[in-house]
Amino acid sequence: MVNKLFLIAIFVVLIDRISKIFLKDVDYLFFKSSINKGAAFSLLQGWNLFLIIFAVFVIILIIYYRNFSEQLALGLLLGGTIGNLIDRVMLKGVIDFVSIWIFPVFNLADVANVIGGILLIKYFMKK
């Protein structure tokens, strides 16, 4: 039986890839395409190899703890991490295209990572 975590991760990766294919060259309204060669907020510029290794470590960690009760949180984190890892390996940076008001430009994999992280924090605060 396929774990719920992996179904969520596959969904996130597919939505992320499709959005990046269709929206990466769009520049109007809330879309402003760019390649982020760093991490969140463009930190760690030029550290692509480190960010790839860190992403692989996170993926291995999530797969190791795949039976953790918070399947939604881990699935979102796994899918978001894989989505951005694909960009890092192929483009040496991450395609960001959503630009909303004061927030840095981001993508759907970033959204999945943030929501997954918030769900994990919420889970651990209850414990």
By annotation, the residues acting in catalysis are 96, 110
Q: How far apart are CA 37 and CA 41, in angstroms?
A: 10
Whether residue 117 contacts residue 77, with contact meaning beta carbons closer than 8 Å, is answered with: yes
Task: Kindly give the residue spans of alpha helices, DSSP state H, lying in the chain.
Answer: 4-23, 48-64, 71-91, 108-126
DSSP letter at 41? Answer: G
